[in-house]
Amino acid sequence: METVTLTFAWLCKIVESDWPGIRVRLYLDSDQKSFKKFRQVAYAVRDRSGLRVAVSPRLESMPKSVITGVMAHELGHIVDFAVAQEGLKQSYGRLPETPERRADAIAERLFGLKISYDKYDLETTGPGTRPRPKHLGL
């Protein structure tokens, strides 16, 4: 999980620089029930144990642009969970109302990346469809 771990650490440094109170853990979730579809390789969680991004072991075998896109998107959710809406609006301006597109918008503004969706509907920083396709849920 070296590429996933290094990408997560790089992006978390940016999160912590902009939002010093946010601490996120990376969690390897080997339970295949968590990832029923091919495109499901990560998810963001906020619970009693804190904030974490859970990833499937399959993510490591994907292109770096997909790893970066997926991790940035999930960290967009984490920031959305952790920061009051007024703080988000002040820092990033108007954001989409739907959670998935809002996660992409936060990630793009926070990391300076463009989030697209590849032919497998995975988040990527490479070429793909923008904005998030409606059939994936907004």
> Per-domain residue ranges for the chain?
2-136
Categorise residue 93: left if φ over 0, alpha if ψ from -120 to 50, beta otherwise. Answer: left
Percentage of residues in the chain having pLDDT higher than 90: 89
Q: Phi/psi of residue 27, each to 5°?
A: -130, 125
pLDDT value at position 38?
87
pTM score, whole prediction = 0.96
pLDDT score at 1 = 85
Rounded Cα distance between 34 and 136, Å, is 17
- CATH class of the structural domain 2-136: alpha beta
Contact 9, 24 (CB under 8 A): no
